[in-house]
Structure 1
């Protein structure tokens, strides 16, 4: 019996290893980066020009599913020229990488920026022109690193991945020129649609993440920063910066300390998969472990009852359990390739348990027969 038990454990481990990938979480790589005017290290902002105030707002106005919704990001910078002379500024704003087709020519890039990204820049509400920059070198730019503990799924606050470093090798952006008169205050406004990063593999409830970078502290003068999230429908939200829930669909952060970046994740808050609610986890790997344990326990129980009660029809029930569990609790369609694989492996596991229970009760019966 000990050999059979060891064999069963190896078979279960083998099944788990086939069915469940070795990586626990869905996040691969780093989210696209947007936000913050950055200047080259050799050409910083003039010390006389400072950012006095900034408002960053993500507006999720569309009622679409996670992965399809693209929020409108609106940033308002209040710039102050503290000198007695006019200042000419060359500023570069970071954006996520455009599609491969758009990157072929500057004309196609501008078309995508205007029609899909809907990028708009204005100074004191007057539109200003910009130039598209492709594949900026990370070594020439002041960019922060993402800490791995900041990337968290928003439902049960579980870590999504370990990020060794934030890659900006393919960072793109737009460059613009503005002039500030002596002692002038001007509001610089940037607006665009942010696609974020879609996380669907290995999580039961899909997740979307967004990353916003801030200008370095040296650019600010007694900073006043406000961050806002505005939703059309309920979402689960997790942010690396503490926020307050002002209304059910409106979150805000007010701070006088400038962070290096803002990373937040969202998930649909209108409904959750039953397995996610039952097991209090959004990770498919953990859900699968719970489901297999449930199948083993229930199958063992029904096989034991069938032997004790000598009811042959009870032997059929354990073979129905995987299909019932797949239909009710599986975090993806039970007729999908993954669902069919889950059912087949579960039936194999039930058959192995059936054989072990049969041998166990046969051994007990022989033992009783000898003692009697």
Structure 2
């Protein structure tokens, strides 16, 4: 049996797949090799956050006996659209190139003891932005029957569309993460990992990959990986200081503060207080210059709202200090 693993990302959406299981616990069917392909594509009619990952997982299975075997297999695909797994994710299973009937299967089962530390990292900065943790006892997936002849070596291919886990609110450019859970308790076998990303996109992988040409990256492993976590985002461009919103926001707030204080000094120092309304243009200027999709993104809208309040507080405090100092000067002049 090749164990399945169940995880959920509490900080973002949750999605993972991997861990092929044989219901019969048949020890005579071995995995000789495997290959996982992530083909990530950008949908041009949607925003950058919406990427599609066309997944192909290939297993080279060997029937080590002379007897024909019929085995029911289960492949976990934990996705938020699990109730529409086959239709929405376009699940397709092939055995030696021939289609195999697939059915949705929702299982209640205990998780195995092995729990890899799956983390998502921002491709821009390398900082951790989320992780997957053990969650619940329900595992979603697909089941199908495999017919293997005696001493046959067969190729099982599982293809589907992976929505991945999305992080939007804490980063400038949205990050999509995809997780394949391997088979740490299986026999040693050769595995190949292959990733392709759209032009202008960066990736982070917990397993080092080498360039394979034409936007592809790959790795050759001598055993099944415990997990393969990949995060993808569009390459950051100036004037953005960091893809992590908190760091970028800090720099922008410092610039906003400097601009607001400078304007207040000029307005109040030269009896130009009637122009103080111009202070409230600063949040909009910062929004258009430093925030992507200013009226379409959550970060852009929230930044402007908070920045208006922030400028208003600075303005109020400045005005109060100016009035107190003016009264003191007037009383000193009267004396």
TM category (shorter chain) comes to 0.7 to 0.9
Corresponding position: 1:137 with 2:119: no
Deviation at 1:29, TM superposition (A): 4.8
Structure 2 counterpart of 1:158: 127
**Distance (Å, rounded) in 1 between the aligned partners of 2:245 and 2:291:** 9
| TM-score, structure 1 as length reference | 0.73
CA deviations 1:79-113 (Å, max 9, x no partner) are 1222343333221111134648xx3xxxxx5xx61
**Distance (Å, rounded) in 1 between the aligned partners of 2:175 and 2:209:** 19
2:262 counterpart (301, 307, 310)? 301
Structure 1 counterpart of 2:145: 177
Corresponding position: 1:147 with 2:117: yes
CA deviations 1:167-226 (Å, max 9, x no partner) are 2534211122223233221111111111112222232211111111113432x3x41111
Structure 2 counterpart of 1:13: none
Structure 2 counterpart of 1:354: 318
Residues 1-372 of structure 1 mapped to structure 2, 5 A cutoff: 28-29=11-12, 31-39=14-22, 43-46=24-27, 48-64=28-44, 65-97=47-79, 99=81, 103=83, 109=84, 113=86, 115-134=87-106, 136-139=107-110, 142=112, 144-147=114-117, 150-161=119-130, 163=132, 165-167=133-135, 169-218=137-186, 220=187, 222-247=188-213, 249-269=215-235, 272=236, 274-275=238-239, 277=240, 279=241, 281-305=242-266, 310=270, 312=272, 316=276, 318-333=279-294, 337-355=301-319, 358=322
Contact in 2 for aligned 1:130/1:174 (Cα 8 Å): yes
Query: Does the C-alpha gap of structure 1 residues 191 and 154 become closer, same or farther in structure 2, counting only changes over 3 Å?
Result: same
Query: Does the C-alpha gap of structure 1 residues 191 and 320 become closer, same or farther in structure 2, counting only changes over 3 Å?
Result: closer
Structure 2 counterpart of 1:23: none
**Distance (Å, rounded) in 2 between the aligned partners of 1:99 and 1:34:** 13
Aligned partner of residue 189 in structure 2, secondary structure: strand
| TM-score, structure 2 as length reference | 0.81
Deviation at 1:274, TM superposition (A): 4.4
Q: Please give the root-mean-square deviation of Cα atoms over the aligned residues, in Å.
A: 3.3
Contact in 1 for aligned 2:283/2:304 (Cα 8 Å): no
**Distance (Å, rounded) in 2 between the aligned partners of 1:207 and 1:239:** 13
Give the unaligned 5+ runs of structure 1: 1-25, 104-108
Higher strand proportion: 2
Aligned partner of residue 83 in structure 1, secondary structure: coil
Query: Does the C-alpha gap of structure 1 residues 217 and 93 become closer, same or farther in structure 2, counting only changes over 3 Å?
Result: same
CA deviations 1:210-246 (Å, max 9, x no partner) are 111113432x3x4111111123433111112111233
How many residue pairs match? The answer is 320
Higher helix proportion: 1
Aligned partner of residue 308 in structure 2, secondary structure: helix
